[in-house]
Structure 1
Amino acid sequence: MSERFFLYDDTVETKTRFVSFMNDNNRFDLAIIQSDRYYGKVIVLNIQGGRFAIIGPDDLQEEGYIEHAFDMNEEDAAELSAFLSELV
């Protein structure tokens, strides 16, 4: 068996916010993780959908990014983007 080669193995302090809200079509159950990594971006986990993305203000401006990252329709992605724009 070959020796394991780590690129990094760090433990960092994080701040995690759990939030749940609804729009007309969907329920959003999110975990939002902030740390010193990822150049000020946050990790957003869609708990029910099982998907996550590293998101910053630039990502929210990119057309179709939220739809693709979280596999959701345009209306739900707009709702999620509006919420996330208050955080990042």
Structure 2
Amino acid sequence: MDLFEKLYDEHEKVSVRFVGFTTDETRYDFGIVYTNMFFGKPLIVCMQTGRSALLASDDLNNIEYLQKAFSIKETKQAADLAEFFQEALPTLPFETQYE
């Protein structure tokens, strides 16, 4: 273990929401982990693909980011996903740790 410098090792009781929904084209199944880590950004896990991303409400304006994060080919599908997450994600101010 001398090869690694531990950056953090936190234990936290978190709130998790599991939600499944459909649009006209697609079914979605997500786990949303609300945590105090990551500057308050929830960890979103796609239960179908295992892909995950940290998302805040500001990220939902970037449809291309959602497409890449969750491997979505259609812009309309990513826009539908953004619309869902607008209601599901908290609106917290985000300050970057790195400059």
Normalised to the residue count of structure 1, the TM-score between the two structures is 0.89
Aligned equivalent of 2:5: 5
**Structure 1 portions without partners, runs of 5+:** none
Rounded to whole Å, the distance in 1 between the matches of 2:22 and 2:63 is 23
Structure 1 position 61 matched with structure 2 position 96: no
CA RMSD of aligned residues (A): 1.3
**Structure 2 portions without partners, runs of 5+:** 90-99
Asked if structure 1 preserves the Cα contact closer than 8 Å seen for 2:63 and 2:82, the reply is no
- How far off is 1:67 after superposition? 0.7
- How far off is 1:63 after superposition? 3.9
Identity level (%)? 32
Aligned equivalent of 1:43: 43
Aligned equivalent of 2:80: 79
- How far off is 1:5 after superposition? 3.0
Q: Give the number of the structure whose residues are more often strand, by fraction.
A: 1
What is the SS of the residue equivalent to 1:82?
helix
Q: How many residues align?
A: 87
Asked if structure 1 preserves the Cα contact closer than 8 Å seen for 2:63 and 2:79, the reply is no
The Cα offsets for residues 30-75 of structure 1, whole Å up to 9 and x where unpaired, read as 0000011122211110010221100001111124111111010211
